[in-house]
Amino acid sequence: MNQSRMQKLVGFLKENPQDSFSRFALALEQLKAGDVNKAREHFEFIQLNDPGYVGVYYHLGKLYQNTGNPEKAIKTFTNGISVARNAQNHHAASELEQALQEIETEE
């Protein structure tokens, strides 16, 4: 875990709590460090407060999938596909569609 990177990101969030980019980066760092709950809280905050932030849907969906919550994962991937398509982000939509197909074949 890169503690100084995490500290910088926490500092950015203290200055601007609505900064989705810093919050997303912090969530990824926390995920790497094994703090799944804090990562989930940040991802969910972004999804709720900045629903157009396309990148959050894949990572939040995978987090749900990996923590035994396939229903939430499917819903998150499905919502993310809509958001990505609306943003004309074809790459993200494709990744989310693939993740959705994978989890649906596991069910």
pLDDT digit string (tens) for 31-80? 999 999 999 999 999 999 999 999 999 999 999 999 999 999 999 999 99
Find the range with the poorest average confidence among 2-11, 14-23, 60-69, 72-81: 2-11
Both 16 and 35 in one domain: the answer is: yes
For residue 66, give the CATH number of its domain. 1.25.40.10
Both 16 and 43 in one domain: the answer is: yes
Both 69 and 102 in one domain: the answer is: yes
pTM: 0.92
pLDDT digit string (tens) for 89-105? 999 999 999 999 999 98
Residue 2 has a pLDDT of: 59
Both 34 and 72 in one domain: the answer is: no
Both 77 and 92 in one domain: the answer is: yes
Burial of 44 (0-12, 13-18, 19+ CB in 10 A): middle
